[in-house]
Structure 1
Amino acid sequence: MIRRTTEGLVRQDLWQGKVIVVLGPRQVGKTTLVRGLAASVHKDYLYLNGDLSSVQELLSSRSYENLAAVIGDRKLVVIDEAQRIDEIGLKLKILIDTQPETQLLVTGSSSLELSFGVNESLTGRKFQHFMYPLSFEEISNNQGQARALDGLELRLLYGSYPEIVNRAGSERRYLDLIVDSYLYKDLLYQETVRRVDLLKKILQALALQLGSEVSYNEVAKTVGADPATVEHYISLLEQAFVIFRLPSLSRNLRSEIKRGRKIYFWDNGVRNALIANFSPLHLRQDTGALRENFLVSERQKIKQYHQRYSNDYFWRTYTQQEVDYIEESDGLLHAFEFKWNPRKRASFPKSFREAYPDAVTQTISQDNFIPFLSGDRA
């Protein structure tokens, strides 16, 4: 059992008079975490699985009396996969307002319905945490840094879902199961997702453009759909924690790309499963893109887990000058270039340095990526 950083964050928020919401993809261990935590702090807790039709029916009423009858005198209630329960935000609001002494611990594998219902209804009434496939830091803390480094190529190829990390030798089989059975599960409940085949084509197109700027028009031409539909499906995939977008930074130069975006996958293994390519790194043409995806997605995880906040970008001009990754916090820019070979030190474009003279720059290589994935900056 690999200890998850999110557990400590959730534990410190217990019994503060707030609903605790844990969001993240399916199969990353949310159920294991909340049930284990609940059992450790209050043995007589109530567990409700929102995927079950019986639970959906049990929580179908808006009536306080009916909701209170379900909970009874339990002081800790876990509602798993809460996005499957109609009007869950309103029902959580009713419960927290009327039974503030009861701790509500809620998970969701999609921010779709859950966010629409929860954010509006629970303003000022919730603590929200995120949970993703295992971070490199979590693996290092559990296995030791040397072993984690030895397994780095496996993480670049097969990703870091807990079952993948714990099933050495059967990674591809379990990745196929995750992609085929869980990746789209919440999206398929949405009326706006009518074409699973189109969803898969869009994901495959994004997988092949990893590390490059993404044009909705080009993806639309590739998959045979209109750009508005492509953008809508990409937004849904982002809310389901399959991908995330990184916008372009544009402030000082006319030549800067102003509405560009890169799209990354939360897990390298999912990306490689979509294109059915698990070849070793030395045989691949996309090794640089895999390393970039790994570094950027891991950085996003560590920022969430350590509660460090910034606005994140990439930078590019129409003349193809670029900076891989930029964080802005407290008015200061931190710019990073990814060069895995430490002997190939990056040269930041002169136009970027002149436009943003106060930016702190750093090259991330195999020699110094561990501090970067621990949340450190230059």
Structure 2
Amino acid sequence: MIKRVLTERIAKTLFGGKAVVVLGARQTGKTTLLQSLSEQESNRLHLNCDEPIVRTQLQDVNLTELRNIIGEAKLVFVDEAQRVKNIGLTLKLVADNFKQVKLLVSGSSALDLASEFKESLAGRKRDYTLYPISWEELSAHQGYLQAKAQLESRILYGMYPEVITSPGEEDELLYELVDSFLYKDLLSFQGIRKPDVLSKLVQALALQTGSEVSYNELSQLVGVDKNTVSNYIELLEKAFVVFRLPAYSTNARNEISRSKKIYFYDTGIRNAVIGNFNPLSLRTDTGALWENFLIAERMKLLGNHRIRAGMYFWRSVAQAEVDYVEMRAGQLRAFEFKWNPKAKKKKPRAFLNTYDAEVSFIDRDNFISFLMPE
């Protein structure tokens, strides 16, 4: 099992008296991680909400029924909690009336859970996001040299745990992941009323990786209004499929301030959506894939270590660009991504003329420092 960076941090929270809520896409290892933590308590209860009988028991349950369900358990692990309607109220009953119970909750979507938990467990919980395997975790598990040797494979097939540990089966596993959590899970939510539109939209976003996204253009492309596009993208974000990177601006007149780019949390999922696992040497989107991979991995690094930082890109009205800009502890840093170490590296003068910032070029020879704790 690949050890996760969050393990010790979550354990301290759980055994320190607070409820733990872990969100993240399906198959990122939430159940495995939380089961390993729950095993530290001999008297425990695992409630898998994928099972219909569990969903029925937990939905709109009263206190007497809840006492019967929990019994003498000292730790309760509620797995895939988003599957239960009004689960926030049930968890509030547990937190209010079972002070001796350590509460572990996992969810594969922030579609409903975030607002429910905010109200029901306010001040009594800690939230964590479990991403696919990070480069730091991969390197610790396999060793520096072996991890670096499979860089191209990780860009093509991504960082889901089962994909990493099943060489030769990556394509099949990724197509299964896309069919199950990306479409079946998402389509089960009320907000998705047009399955064909969702499929077209995800493919359009995959083909525009690394480019600025126009909701107007997307609406024309997939045949729905701009508001529907916006709503569907928000749902994709909450299901941990894609994330938005806003433009950095201090409201200077020569800067783009409202634009956004959209990236996939995992490049393997992105490639499965468009059905392209060709080697990087045969692709026309290598630069965009490299950019997506690095930014997603940087997000994992910051998230896993609870580092507060603003993540952006930058572009001027005159089309000068910086791939990635990070504001952290009051310091502005800029990064340009080049897959080829020999590619021409030109400093972004327009950006440097506007901001006092450090600029670094990240390529396949020096990328590791960008993805590891400082």
Which residue pairs with 1:319 in the alignment? Answer: 318
1:211-360 paired onto structure 2 within 5 Å: 211-344=210-343, 346-357=345-356, 359-360=357-358
Q: Distance in 2 between matches of 1:268 and 1:303?
A: 18
Question: 1:351: Cα distance to partner?
Answer: 2.3
Which residue pairs with 2:23 in the alignment? Answer: 23
Q: Is 1:2–2:2 an aligned residue pair?
A: yes
Q: Distance in 2 between matches of 1:26 and 1:9?
A: 21
1:59-138 paired onto structure 2 within 5 Å: 59-138=58-137
Higher mean Cα deviation, 210-219 or 345-354?
A: 345-354
Q: Distance in 2 between matches of 1:118 and 1:188?
A: 23
Which residue pairs with 1:149 in the alignment? Answer: 148
Q: Tell me the amino acid that sits aligned with residue 33 of structure 1.
A: L
Question: 1:36: Cα distance to partner?
Answer: 2.0
Q: Which runs of 5+ in 2 are unaligned?
A: none
Higher mean Cα deviation, 196-205 or 326-335?
A: 326-335
Preserved CA contact (<8 Å) 1:179 1:273: yes
Which residue pairs with 1:208 in the alignment? Answer: 207
Q: Tell me the amino acid that sits aligned with residue 325 of structure 2.
A: I
Question: 1:331: Cα distance to partner?
Answer: 2.2
Deviation per CA, 1:293-334: give whole Å up to 9, x if none: 100000001111111111111000121101111111222211
Instruction: Pick from 356, 360, 363 the counterpart of residue 361 of structure 2.
Output: 363
Identity %: 50
Preserved CA contact (<8 Å) 1:345 1:363: no
Q: Distance in 2 between matches of 1:345 and 1:375?
A: 28
Which residue pairs with 2:197 in the alignment? Answer: 198
Q: Distance in 1 between matches of 2:99 and 2:353?
A: 55
Deviation per CA, 1:340-366: give whole Å up to 9, x if none: 333446333322112212x22211122
Question: 1:335: Cα distance to partner?
Answer: 1.1
Q: Distance in 2 between matches of 1:174 and 1:158?
A: 10
Question: 1:116: Cα distance to partner?
Answer: 2.3
Which residue pairs with 1:14 in the alignment? Answer: 14
Higher mean Cα deviation, 234-243 or 174-183?
A: 174-183
SS in 2 for 1:157: helix
Q: Distance in 1 between matches of 2:26 and 2:116?
A: 19
Q: Tell me the amino acid that sits aligned with residue 134 of structure 2.
A: S
Which residue pairs with 1:38 in the alignment? Answer: 38
Question: 1:62: Cα distance to partner?
Answer: 4.3
Q: Is 1:182–2:181 an aligned residue pair?
A: yes
Q: Distance in 1 between matches of 2:168 and 2:189?
A: 35
Q: Distance in 1 between matches of 2:344 and 2:123?
A: 46
Preserved CA contact (<8 Å) 2:95 2:121: no
Q: Distance in 1 between matches of 2:42 and 2:301?
A: 31
Deviation per CA, 1:146-171: give whole Å up to 9, x if none: 11111111111111111111111111
Q: Distance in 2 between matches of 1:246 and 1:228?
A: 19
Q: Distance in 1 between matches of 2:9 and 2:88?
A: 22
Deviation per CA, 1:4-56: give whole Å up to 9, x if none: 122222112123222100110001111111112211x0132100011112111
Question: 1:68: Cα distance to partner?
Answer: 2.3
Preserved CA contact (<8 Å) 1:252 1:355: no
Question: 1:278: Cα distance to partner?
Answer: 0.7
Preserved CA contact (<8 Å) 2:60 2:86: no
> Which portions of structure 1, spanning 4 or more consecutive aligned residues, are displaced by more than 4 angstroms?
none
Q: Distance in 1 between matches of 2:320 and 2:60?
A: 57
Question: 1:66: Cα distance to partner?
Answer: 2.0
Q: Distance in 2 between matches of 1:69 and 1:360?
A: 60
Deviation per CA, 1:185-229: give whole Å up to 9, x if none: 432222110111111110000000011111111111111111110
SS in 2 for 1:100: coil
Question: 1:368: Cα distance to partner?
Answer: 2.0
Q: Tell me the amino acid that sits aligned with residue 9 of structure 1.
A: R
Which residue pairs with 2:373 in the alignment? Answer: 375
Q: Tell me the amino acid that sits aligned with residue 202 of structure 1.
A: L
CA RMSD in angstroms comes to: 1.4
Question: 1:252: Cα distance to partner?
Answer: 4.6
Preserved CA contact (<8 Å) 2:242 2:262: yes
Give the TM-score normalised by structure 1: 0.96
Q: Which runs of 5+ in 1 are unaligned?
A: none
Q: Distance in 2 between matches of 1:181 and 1:48?
A: 21
Question: 1:241: Cα distance to partner?
Answer: 0.2
SS in 1 for 2:203: helix
Q: Distance in 2 between matches of 1:62 and 1:257?
A: 51
Q: Distance in 2 between matches of 1:293 and 1:25?
A: 17
Preserved CA contact (<8 Å) 2:59 2:87: no
Q: Distance in 1 between matches of 2:89 and 2:371?
A: 38
SS in 2 for 1:319: coil
Q: Tell me the amino acid that sits aligned with residue 340 of structure 1.
A: W
Q: Distance in 1 between matches of 2:300 and 2:253?
A: 33
